[in-house]
Amino acid sequence: MSKKLLLKDAHIEGIRYFETYRKQGGYEAAEKALKMTPDEILEEVKASGLRGRGGAGFPTGMKWSFLAKPEGVPRHLVVNADESEPGTFKDRYLMEFLPHLLIEGMLISSYCLGSNTSYIYIRGEYSWIPDILEEAIEEAKAAGFLGENILGTGFDLEIYVQRGGGAYICGEETALLESLEGKRGNPRLKPPFPAVKGLWERPTVVNNVESIAAIVPIMDITGAEYAKIGVGRSTGTKLISACGNINKPGVYEIDMTITVEEFIYSEEYCGGIPNGKKLKACIPGGSSVPIVPANLLLKTINGEPRYMNYESLADGGFATGTMMGSGGFIVLDEDQCIVEHTMTLARFYNHESCGQCTPCREGTGWMYKILKKIENGQGKMEDIDLLWDIQRKIEGNTICPLGDAAAWPVAAAIRHFRDEFEWHIKNPELSQTQNYGLANY
């Protein structure tokens, strides 16, 4: 059984409220941290090996150490709670059931980074959660863990919750900052990174909800102990939101040593695939990461089992691997149509493109139209090569990663499931009447 660090108290009734959270040892990590120097906390975070849980997996300690500290300029911590990646709903779970874990993590992180005003930017569609967070903020303030001179240390901290307007692109960190400043959420060119020029051009650390929540157990057990959990550079635990064709969808905490097969089929996690269906493919890290067919999902190309961690999932690069991403684990059974699935994603990225760069603005629209044509039985064989060509021209040629995120699912679908595209083209009548693909994977 995987070790639980973040969700260990999630089952306790009333854990969302300060009193219960405190009884379970809540805010003890903050008490410990506030007796340390910011540099000592930073060393613990670096030692933990924690990697950003939003999707990119960038080392958190390294990001914090990049934070510029010019004299007299305020710094900020911004928590990215704009969780919108299709298939990803782990941060929602944390905020809804364990809001104090996030607030405590923000207190420790803000103290370490020297932020006296920190923000939570939350996805607009999570309309009921800001009230939960604001209530937790008020409770923490009443107990002396927020506000002025926290625990007599002289450190002040205010936390504000900002609701997003429902645009996926505002989860990209620089678009988020633009939106937080009250502007249209258009991504900025990087560099400069937010650590140097972020919110109102001030040094800013933008971290995912789960990354900040993980700071609490790191302070609790020390960075060195946290680094012993997991494997290699995949240290600590990771939340996985599992959905699609599985018996037990939900949010699971894993320690990144289990295999993909165990995760899908064991009763502790997804509980297998309904109706005895076969596994066809999976997208293990949210819709932006490449889809992988079952044969490459359960084993790497070298015949090794594939594990639920950053390195193993990426094994073989994009040709045979995928990415841990945000941990949005989407399972597709043998009845699912890859062309339809890819078309749905293409429509999503086309709709969510901010329109700043031509390859993304135009390319996502083209890909959607071509996929729709193929799905509806009106495609030609050369359309597959055209699709391939368009996705290649988008990848790496845009301001922000939405372009790559739109290109990768198309590339992976063609690479691994070309015969399904061809089947739609060769069987136009069936293609129009049967909304499913081949069942031989």
* Cα–Cα separations (whole angstroms), residue 45 to 60, 212, 298, 311: 7, 11, 32, 20
Instruction: CB nearer to ligand SF4: give 86 or 99.
Output: 86
Question: Should residue 58 be labelled a site residue for ligand NAI when binding is judged by CB under 6 A?
Answer: yes
DSSP strands (E only) in 147-212? 158-163, 204-208
Question: Should residue 178 be labelled a site residue for ligand NAI when binding is judged by CB under 6 A?
Answer: no
Question: Should residue 193 be labelled a site residue for ligand NAI when binding is judged by CB under 6 A?
Answer: yes
Range 366-425, binding ligand NAI (CB under 6 A): 401
Residue nearest to ligand NAI as judged by C-beta position: 55
54 binds, among ligand NAI, ligand SF4, none (CB under 5 to 8 A by kind): ligand NAI
Rounded Cα gap, residues 86 and 243, in angstroms: 10
Rounded Cα gap, residues 373 and 377, in angstroms: 6
CB of 387 to ligand SF4, least distance (A): 18
Q: Which residue has the tokens 């969808």?
A: 249
Rounded Cα gap, residues 155 and 150, in angstroms: 6
Residue type, 199: L
Residue nearest to ligand SF4 as judged by C-beta position: 360
Instruction: CB nearer to ligand NAI: give 287 or 336.
Output: 287
Pairing assessment for the beta strands 75-81 and 115-122 based on DSSP bridges: parallel
Candidate list 48, 60, 88, 309; residue touching ligand NAI; CB under 6 A: 88
Contact residues for 195 (Cβ-Cβ < 8 A; gap 6+) = 63, 66, 67, 68, 203, 204, 205
CB of 432 to ligand NAI, least distance (A): 33
Instruction: CB nearer to ligand SF4: give 217 or 363.
Output: 363
Instruction: Classify residue 311 as exposed, middle or buried by CB count within 10 Å of its CB (0-12, 13-18, 19+).
Output: middle
Question: Should residue 288 be labelled a site residue for ligand NAI when binding is judged by CB under 6 A?
Answer: yes
309 binds, among ligand SF4, ligand NAI, none (CB under 5 to 8 A by kind): none
Question: Should residue 340 be labelled a site residue for ligand NAI when binding is judged by CB under 6 A?
Answer: no
Rounded Cα gap, residues 432 and 395, in angstroms: 31
CB of 123 to ligand NAI, least distance (A): 8
Instruction: CB nearer to ligand SF4: give 313 or 354.
Output: 354
Q: Which residues bind to ligand NAI, rule: CB under 6 A?
A: 52, 54-56, 58, 63, 66, 83-85, 88, 171-173, 193-195, 206, 285-286, 288, 325-326, 401
